[in-house]
Structure 1
Amino acid sequence: MLHGPVTFRPLTRADLPLVARWLEEPAVARWWAHETTREALEADFGPSVDGRDPTQVLLACTGGRPFGLVQRYRLSDEPGYLEELAPVVAVPPRALSIDYLIGEPDVRGGGAGTAMLRAFVADSWIAYPDADAVLVPVAAGNVASWRALEKAGFTRVAEGPLTPDNPVDPPDHVVYLVRRDG
């Protein structure tokens, strides 16, 4: 349950043990399948923390308490991913994409994901004034994730095969979109 509005702050190295704990939570690990060693976390998040990677990684907070991780990036900065998406969906030219998780079990449910997504999209329009859309592929089996997107105003625009984040999953994905103009 949320205790106030959702705010965001940049991820720091001091946050990596918290992120490791979240990535080990069964509800998160199921979909993220991410190594949690210090070396793996440094390799994946360190470049963003240092500003060497254009992906912005932030912590979602409520009442001053971090409860989730969100990251955003211009799809144009990820040519390999654009190439993979092209057969599945028409990508708007200035689209962003986002990845997200709620790490604190006591915050899951009750609309927390939807609130986080709405706040993050609003923040993204400010951070990227030229962005025209946010496009989010989700593993088709991750129903809680795509329902939160729907409740946050995203529309399903495509379905198709993409490389899953967790190798145990099939390639089936659903793709959601929200445009700046609604």
Structure 2
Amino acid sequence: MFTAAAIAQILIALAFVSIPLVRHRYGAGAQVAAERELTRQGVRPEVLRENGLRFDASGHETWAPVSFAALMIVAAVLNLAAASWAEPISWVFQSVILLANILIVYSNLTAVSSVTAAFAKKGDPELARVDVKAFLVAADHGFPRWVMKHLTYARHTIVFGGSLLVLLALITA
């Protein structure tokens, strides 16, 4: 049963690593698309850089998913080794992963309102004028269609489904 949990945890780790890999590969295109949209709206595109807004794999777009992947690899290795710590570590780490992914989904669903609020909080009058929905749609279109449509859903399915599998394995162990 712990082998199944370890396999699920490895798949979850790969799902999280896909985030910075995709942003590293396609983030520049999303940045260009977002800047074009700002220009269309009459907002200087430099305002993004001036306020530290990027679509690449910098900052939390790398350290957070890589950290989550590392937690899953540690738990998987402990499960494969049948270590005495495997079960309690898996309970804790898997719960963290499940909650983190719920927050990620929530963040994705509320992106327009949260980015609008973040722009207003910056106090930059140019950012306050941005049509955030159009801005985010343009940035999304800077990524290949399969990223937003298929990879995002696949990643959430793997993380939620794999987490449930791991928790079921722990309950039945």
Q: Same fold (TM over 0.5)?
A: no
Task: Compute the TM-score of the two structures, normalised by the length of structure 1.
Answer: 0.26
Task: Compute the TM-score of the two structures, normalised by the length of structure 2.
Answer: 0.26
Structure with a larger share of its residues in strand = 1
| Greater relative CO (CA pairs within 8 A, separation 6+) | 2
Larger Cα Rg: Structure 1 or Structure 2? Answer: 2
